[in-house]
Amino acid sequence: MNPPCELTAGEALRLMADDRLDSEALAVSCLERIDRLEPAVGAWAHLSPEHLLAQARQADQRRREGQAAGLVLNGIPVGVKDIFDTCDLPTENGTSVDHGRQPATDARVVELLRAAGALIAGKTVTAELAVYAPGKTTNPHDHSRTPGGSSSGSAAAVACSMVPLAIGTQTNGSVIRPASYCGVVGYKPTGGLLARAGILCQAPSLDQVGVFSRRVFDSALLVSALTDRSRLHGDTQPWSPPDLARLHNGSAAPPRLALARTAVWPEASKTTREAILTGITTLGVDIEEIVLPDIAGRAVGCHRTIMLAEMAYHYWHFYDHHHLQISPQLLAMIEEGQAIGLAIYLEARELAAEITDAVEQALAGFDGVLTPATPTPAPRGLASTGSPIFCTLWSLCGVPALSLPLLTGEDDLPLGLQIVAPRGMDSRLLQAAQWLEEAGPTDQS
């Protein structure tokens, strides 16, 4: 029998409900896996085994006392990217500037995790300030390769079954890219569904919370739990959270799928392009190819203007007071952002709304549109976290995006298949992703 740490969250919850597993045993199994693999993988920024076990015992007690009803993640360990404030573990944002920083309160989504009965397993490694400069994490499939970033530790920890679930953020490609490289499900729901209070603010027009798991259903379950149903926040709108009942029931009819190569298709390697084009022929359903409107080709420049301008404002104190502790690459980005004028910024914001409008019209009528997640599988080396180029358009538009670990790229490495949909269509997207998870595409290996 496989160790409990390899269970999906859904499986573990069912076993706990049947009294065939307790949270402490799950946590012990996760800690054993961490013990064994952490030296090579380096997924964790902060981890307290005693604290995790204490939370697990509390969850078990709640369950035994009948207090766990309605706690949809009771007893499940979750890795939390080290840019989400946690009141019981440091939050260092991937920078020595914040060394030892201990927040007094939880980020709103961390509060919601605890309210759902989840265990905060620990804080996962993030690239420096959630941008590019890598942390210590390696790719579990090949330690000489990047896990991707910036949610590096969250993707890697889930990939090697240190935890069944983890949370991260995406401003450009920080969920979808590491999910593709590490071979896990990465899901960034519609922007504005999840509250960002208590999370490092990089570029608020673009920053979006996302999740990692090994199965589509688990990601849906986690995002559902992270949705604040009690109220809206200054940065949220009433998007619909995943409809778990629809996912439980499975899908009768195959989803309506399309392929979108997008303007950056030539950036994908020949192997990636072939993996997608061949993969979709094995699905046994018609897949129409859609051509995005020309304006979508301007997304990368538009996104860069907005991201750098907002980052320069929000990270200015790092630049100004902690110059020597910030990577040269990030300093250069902040300088580039600092030079952007208001008119250029507002022009980009206007363009972003136009791109969103045009892209959503193109995506309409499909349950999911397939597109690469990354140009290649995880590149060699740990100095870079790879390219977010296949995520930029979708992050800019705030549309839901999910990377499925269904393809194989160069060197037999995992390669994500990305599926996107118009804003608000998360449930249909997840249902389509779940269908793909079951139906294929057939791996050619």
> Binding residues for a copy of itself, per CB under 8 A?
192, 197, 201, 204, 231-235, 237-240, 309-310, 313-314, 316, 340-343, 345-347, 349-350, 352-358, 360-361, 364, 422-424
Comparing CB distances to a copy of itself, the nearer of 161 and 395 is 395
Comparing CB distances to a copy of itself, the nearer of 40 and 346 is 346
Distance from C-alpha of 349 to C-alpha of 303, rounded to nearest angstrom? 9
Q: What's the closest the beta carbon of residue 123 comes to a copy of itself, in angstroms?
A: 25
Comparing CB distances to a copy of itself, the nearer of 271 and 338 is 338
Q: What's the closest the beta carbon of residue 353 comes to a copy of itself, in angstroms?
A: 4
Comparing CB distances to a copy of itself, the nearer of 19 and 294 is 294
Q: What's the closest the beta carbon of residue 86 comes to a copy of itself, in angstroms?
A: 21
Let me know the angle formed at the C-alpha of 129 by 127 and 133, rounded to the nearest 5 degrees: 40
Q: What's the closest the beta carbon of residue 71 comes to a copy of itself, in angstroms?
A: 24
Comparing CB distances to a copy of itself, the nearer of 365 and 381 is 365
Comparing CB distances to a copy of itself, the nearer of 335 and 347 is 347
Comparing CB distances to a copy of itself, the nearer of 234 and 266 is 234
Q: What's the closest the beta carbon of residue 43 comes to a copy of itself, in angstroms?
A: 32
Q: What's the closest the beta carbon of residue 311 comes to a copy of itself, in angstroms?
A: 10
Comparing CB distances to a copy of itself, the nearer of 131 and 158 is 131
Q: What's the closest the beta carbon of residue 379 comes to a copy of itself, in angstroms?
A: 34
Q: What's the closest the beta carbon of residue 232 comes to a copy of itself, in angstroms?
A: 6
Q: What's the closest the beta carbon of residue 233 comes to a copy of itself, in angstroms?
A: 5
Amino acid identity of residue 298, one-letter, is R
SS3 per-residue string spanning the chain: CCCHHHCCHHHHHHHHHCCCCCHHHHHHHHHHHHHHHHHHHCCEEECCHHHHHHHHHHHHHHHHCCCCCCCCCCCCEEEEECCECCCCCCCCCCCHHHCCCCCCCCCHHHHHHHHCCCEEEEEECCCHHHCCCCCCCCECCECCECCCCCCHHHHHHHHCCCCCEEEEEECCCCCHHHHHHHCCEEEECCCCCCCCCCECCCCCCCCEEEEEECCHHHHHHHHHHHCCCCCCCCCCCCCCCCCHHHHHCCCCCCCCEEEECCCCHHHCCHHHHHHHHHHHHCCCCCEEEECCCHHHHHHHHHHHHHHHHHHHHHCHHHHHHCHHHCCHHHHHHHHHHHCCCHHHHHHHHHHHHHHHHHHHHHHCCCCEEEEECCCCCCCEECCCCCCCCCCHHHHHHCCCEEEEEEEECHHHCEEEEEEECCCCCHHHHHHHHHHHHHHCCCCCC
Comparing CB distances to a copy of itself, the nearer of 205 and 376 is 205
